[in-house]
Amino acid sequence: MPHRVEAVGEPGRWRAVPRDALLSNAGGDRWELRDGDAVLDRFHLADLRISLSWKAEVYLDESERERRASHSDDLTPWEALAIMAAALRERGDWDGGAPADVNDPRWTEAVMTAYPRQAPPGHGKE
């Protein structure tokens, strides 16, 4: 499934944050982004947007769980390419089977035409 997470907030404040950085309450509605003892930034609660993601695997029965655990029905890269080629053919964006070489310029053009990369809103505007 093609998808992406879009950036939010003020672009002037965007930057890389260490993976183990913590958001800590500094009293009241004040929060600090910390990397160990170093305070990387300070925020008021109204300036924060917290997004939580929870994922779970749910199975119909034990045999389905075992199939997942054993990887007995995993797709190979070539099977995935064949499925994608079929989807592109249905859309009229590709006229062949799975490419023998994923670096084939025709394949790259077909994929980029069908699934164009879009800039985040407000990005690239003067």
Along the 126 residues of the chain, how does pLDDT read in single tens digits?
A: 345 566 777 788 777 889 899 999 999 999 999 999 999 999 999 888 777 778 889 999 999 999 999 999 999 999 999 999 999 999 999 998 888 888 999 999 999 989 888 766 655 554
pLDDT reported for residue 1? 39
H or E segment at 106?
A: helix 105-114
Tokens 């407000």 -> residue: 122
How far is 4 from 65, CA to CA, in rounded Å?
Answer: 28
How far is 112 from 126, CA to CA, in rounded Å?
Answer: 25
Indicate the domain borders of the chain: 18-46, 76-116
pLDDT reported for residue 100? 86
